[in-house]
Structure 1
């Protein structure tokens, strides 16, 4: 479980986040949604420590992550898996080498143990025997799956995902969503996903936080979102569905 309390983030004169508090639940797909510029990715970066909040606190279980120095944060960071928007694979490394990268950094496992773990993770994301391929030889969906395999290589307690379906066709997007949801339950992770994809929201949104102009404007489940009378959320949902339908017609 992750708790964030009264998070503010300011860049110069720009107040990007304005007092956001929330609890992200273990074993659930926790989605952060909102329009462009609403603060979604900034909030994600504040939670994992890529940005320091201007004000507020982040707790992993009962540990105050915000008050820790770099060394104190290392044990928590080794329990975090991340899937970036563009997968962030190393072009000069093979699929296997990409997956083993966190293991090389944070473990003292033998090469045989690391290869076994890489093989397990590849098989789990349905990419068995793709070890020696390079990112340039992969499709967009395969890159996302390799990114997921790397993110779970350390058997994380916390998984952070930024726009997992960016650049993917609807069918592949559904497969990626389903894979993330399965792994969340399988590893009993606290999964936090930033997305603007309403298919993801309705498909796997166990717990949803809607940001509007840097503030938490609504919170609920994918079942509740269809019945809300929140104007800003309804405007976002309608616009998202309209844009998705328009893209599918092109």
Structure 2
């Protein structure tokens, strides 16, 4: 389990996060949602250590990640898989080499075992045999799936996903959501997804945290979100559904 305790983050005079307390549980799709500027990506970056909180603590299974130095954080970072919004694949590397990149960084595994692991991960995301392709030869959905394959190459205990459906058509978005949910359940990862996609919220939102103006405004499941009387959340949900429907008609 990952726990955030009273997380604050400021940039100059800008208070982006104000006292976020949350528990992100294993075997669940923990979704962080909110409008632009609500602080959801900043919270994700504070949790993984890309930003240092101005105040507060992040705990990984009771270990105080915030108070650790770079070397002390390495064992936890080895257990983290990340899928970035842009997929962040290396254009000069093949699909196979992109997937084994974390294995090169963090393990002394022989190359033959790394390739076996890459093959397993590609099969898991339904891209078997695509090892020697380059990112420029892949569709947007395929790039996301390669990103997921790389994220799970280290068999992570914690999986972080930033806007996985950005730039994807609705059908491909559903496939990516289903893949994330399957991996979460199969490996019992603590999965944290930052998204504004209401299809993702309603489809895989086991545990949802809604941020508004840098504060935790609401918390619950996708079954509860439809019955909330929280006006800010209702406004976000309605606006998101309206804009999504409008885009699909274009």
TM tier relative to shorter chain: over 0.9
- Cα deviation, 1:202-232, whole Å, max 9, x if unaligned, reads 0000000000000000000000000000000
Deviation at 1:79, TM superposition (A): 0.1
The residue aligned with 1:23 is 23
* Residues in 2 aligned to 1:185 and 1:231: alpha-carbon distance in whole angstroms: 32
Cα deviations across residues 39-93 of structure 1 (Å, max 9, x unaligned)? 0000000000000000000000010000000000000000000000000000000
CA distances 1:179-218 after superposition (whole Å, capped 9, x unpaired): 0000001111000000000000000000000000000000
Say if 2:239 is the partner of 1:239.
Answer: yes
Q: TM-score, normalised by structure 1?
A: 1.00
Where do residues 212-231 of structure 1 align in structure 2 (5 Å cutoff)?
A: 212-231=212-231
Q: CA deviation at 1:142?
A: 0.1
Q: TM-score with structure 2 length normalisation?
A: 1.00
Please give the alpha-carbon distance, in whole angstroms, between the structure 1 residues aligned to 2:36 and 2:137: 31
2:63 is matched with which residue? 63
> Would you say 1:82 and 2:82 are equivalent positions?
yes
SS of the residue aligned with 1:173?
helix
| Offset at residue 134 of structure 1 (A) | 0.1
1:176 Cα offset (Å)? 0.1
Residue 159 of structure 2: aligned partner: 159
| Deviations, residues 12-62 of structure 1 (Å, cap 9, x unaligned) | 000000000000010000000000000000000000000000000000001
What residue ranges of structure 1 are gaps of 5+ in the alignment?
A: none
Number of residue-to-residue matches in the alignment = 250
Shift of 1:158: 0.0
Structure-2 residue corresponding to 1:8: 8
- Counterpart Cα distance in 2 of 1:242 and 1:230: 18
Q: What is the rounded CA distance, in whole Å, between the counterparts of 2:71 and 2:121 in structure 1?
A: 28
C-alpha separation between the residues in 2 aligned to 1:215 and 1:228? 17
Secondary structure of residue in 2 paired with 1:82: strand
Shift of 1:99: 0.1
